């Protein structure tokens, strides 16, 4: 063994001993993944992509804040939330991949923009770069986690046992994310004039993307009993958001509907301008060095 490189001595044998690198086994290894009888597998895969892409793309956005948040504790918080969502994404993409014949990495790194099925709320740029703000990221986290928590709460009863198990697991994580965002919203909204102004501006930034969250897609209609109709979540989520905004002394924005393209949006693979830049950064390494391991 050479000692020129300290890592050589560490990396001998199986690298799964280390919590980094490429030794990770697939996300659903060992889970019973039989498909329930009578379920449209193509539709199930499409649905898993929708929920998986929401988590993957928002996880990427949250990761961008690492080392850029207003305080160290928030670097850790947003990175931890991103990690939970990445875990949910890995399981959902693996489930989709069983039907599509592609693994989670191929789905994350080798699909083009039109093949992603995430809602626009997950992809828009709320910072930390120019024009963004921590308050806008908190506003997005509040809306996203309130909506996904309500969705996962119902998904626990899905006829697909894998989706039901992923939802049962993710539910606790999402409840913690929502509480975190709600507590920040109250702190900023009910804080100084400046923090109030920026929290209100953050809400105005994300609110046009709210309606899309509750629009029923054809796939969700096909999968009755397996998928959750997002339209059925609206009153619960509205109630939660109203309680938070009232406690924070903030005003609910009125602009809830961003433009669609010929009636299509994220669930149809039609994305905003920000998506291409996000994918370029997320996929660049894997595409430049196909098959790279480390």
Partner 1 sequence: MTTALEVASAVRDPELPVLTLADLGVLRDVAEEDGRVVVTITPTYSGCPAIDEMGADLRRSLVGAGYPDVEVRLSLSPAWTTDWISEEGRSKLAAAGIAPPSRIGPTVAGPVPLNLVPPSRQVACPQCGSLNTSEISRFGSTACKALRRCHACAEPFEHVKEI
Q: For residues 107 and 90, what is the distance between their CA atoms, to the nearest angstrom?
A: 10
Judged by CB under 8 A, which of 17, 41, 197, 257 binds partner 1? Answer: 17
**Which of these ranges, 9-17, 119-127, 219-227, 253-261, lies near partner 1 under the rule CB under 8 A?**
9-17
Q: Give whichever of 84 and 220 is closer to partner 1, judged by the CB atom.
A: 84
Residues 200-259 that bind partner 1 (CB under 8 A): 236, 240, 243-244, 247
272 vs 227: CA distance, rounded Å: 25
**What are the counts of helices (DSSP H) followed by strands (DSSP E) for the chain?**
12, 0
Residue 166 makes contact with partner 1 by CB under 8 A: yes
- Distance in Å, CB of 36 to partner 1, minimum: 15
Should residue 169 be labelled a site residue for partner 1 when binding is judged by CB under 8 A?
yes
Asked whether 135 and 69 are in contact (CB, 8 A), the reply is no
- Answer positive or negative: Cα dihedral of 40, 41, 47, 51: positive
CA distance 165 to 53: 18
Q: What are phi and psi of 126, to 5 degrees?
A: -110, 25
Which of 146, 227, 158 has the alpha carbon at shortest distance from 185?
146
Size of the site for partner 1 (CB under 8 A): 53
How large is the angle between the packed helices 134-155 and 234-248, nearest 10 degrees? 150
Pick from 5, 20, 193, 263 the residue near partner 1 by CB under 8 A: 20
Q: Measure the CA–CA gap between 193 and 200, rounded to whole angstroms.
A: 11
**Residue 282 found at the interface with partner 1 (CB under 8 A):** no
Residue 73 binds partner 1 (CB under 8 A):
yes
Tokens coding 68? 């850029």
CB of 42 to partner 1, least distance (A): 23
| Residue nearer to partner 1 on the CB measure, 1 or 19 | 19
Partnered with residue 261 across adjacent β-strands are 264
- Residue (133 or 190) nearer to partner 1, CB: 190
Please say which residue, 68 or 260, places its beta carbon nearer to partner 1. 68
Segment near partner 1 (CB under 8 A); pick from 23-31, 125-133, 194-202, 277-285: 23-31
Q: Is residue 107 a contact partner of residue 167, using CB atoms and an 8 Å limit? A: no
* Sites of contact with partner 1 (CB under 8 A): 14, 16-20, 23-25, 28-31, 73, 76-77, 80-81, 83-88, 90-91, 149-150, 153, 161-162, 164-166, 168-173, 175-176, 178-180, 182-183, 186, 236, 240, 243-244, 247
């Amino acid at each position: 063994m050479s000692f020129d490189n300290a890592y050589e001595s560490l990396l001998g044998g199986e690298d799964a001993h280390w919590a980094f690198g490429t030794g990770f086994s697939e996300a659903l290894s060992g889970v019973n993944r039989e498909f329930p009888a009578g379920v449209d597998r193509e539709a199930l895969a499409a649905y898993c992509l929708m929920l998986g892409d929401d988590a993957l793309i928002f996880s990427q956005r949250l990761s961008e804040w690492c080392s850029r948040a207003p305080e160290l504790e928030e670097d850790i918080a947003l990175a931890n939330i991103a990690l939970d969502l990445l875990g949910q994404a890995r399981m959902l993409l693996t489930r989709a991949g069983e039907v599509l014949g592609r693994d989670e990495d191929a789905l994350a790194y080798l699909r083009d923009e039109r093949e992603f099925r995430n809602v626009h709320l997950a992809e828009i740029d709320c910072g930390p770069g120019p024009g963004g703000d921590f308050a806008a990221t908190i506003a997005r986290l509040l809306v996203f986690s309130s909506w996904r928590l309500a969705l996962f709460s119902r998904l626990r009863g899905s006829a697909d046992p894998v989706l039901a198990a992923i939802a049962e697991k993710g539910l606790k994580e999402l409840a913690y994310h929502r509480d975190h965002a709600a507590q920040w919203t109250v702190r900023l909204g009910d804080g100084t004039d400046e923090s109030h102004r920026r929290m209100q501006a953050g809400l105005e930034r994300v609110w046009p993307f709210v309606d899309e969250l509750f629009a029923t897609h054809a796939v969700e209609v096909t999968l009755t009993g397996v998928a959750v109709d997002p339209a059925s979540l609206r009153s619960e989520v509205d109630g939660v958001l109203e309680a938070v905004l009232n406690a924070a002394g903030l005003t609910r924005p009125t602009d809830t509907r961003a433009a669609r393209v010929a009636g299509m949006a994220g669930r149809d693979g039609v994305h905003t301008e920000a998506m291409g830049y996000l994918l370029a950064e997320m996929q660049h390494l894997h595409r430049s060095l196909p098959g790279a391991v480390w």
